[in-house]
Amino acid sequence: MSSSTSRLLLLGGAALTALALSACTPPYGDRDITGTQSPEPEISVSPDKPDSSGGATRPTDSPNLNGGGEATDDGALGETTIGMPAGVDASAEADASVGLGWSSDGATLYVTTFGSSSCPRVPSDLTAAAGEMTIDLTAAGGAVCTADYVASTTAIPTPAAVPSDVAYTVTVSDAGTDLGTAELAPAADPIAFAWIAAPAG
């Protein structure tokens, strides 16, 4: 047998051995792949507006407000609810940006704003002295806001230093922009609301 024939037989035998071994070996080598695939990732959704206990925003039914709605804790001085105080003439809101009024017992100051129900403008600061009051508004809610236009009312418990039996000239600003002033009468039954007109244009 010639040396070239011997080499061919050796190469052929090596190739057959390699084919036999590859046929017996699984495509992933000697690794056991059963049951080792990563599970689908879990998706968790956090509420945009948590309540004070850290849970999700909860519906609120207030006896002093029409309709109820969602309470927010996004920097408001009190509880914010969709709607207007009971007994307040809703037709007055047509050209208004802000409404103000005391509850009939003077224990609560209502501040009503208009805009998105999921991102209401809420009072974040209030100062009062000698018949003058200033209220600063800030945006509540998340980064995405609904495109509706509704009244939202924040009920602020009246501080002892802000007597509700006094008339006030109230200046309201929104993120540093002066919205105007309103003459807020002392608390009375029925509630007398003061309105600040929406800017022209």
Is residue 168 over pLDDT 70? yes
pLDDT of residue 12: 53
What is 47-96 written as a DSSP string? -SS--TTSS---EE--TTBSS-EE---SS-SSEEEES-BTT--GGGGTTE
User: Domain extents for the chain?
Assistant: 60-197
Look up the pTM and report it.
0.64
What pLDDT, in 10s, does the model give residues 3-53?
Answer: 555 554 444 555 555 545 455 555 445 545 444 444 432 222 222 333 333
Amino acid type, 82? I
Residue bearing the bigger pLDDT, 187 or 33: 187
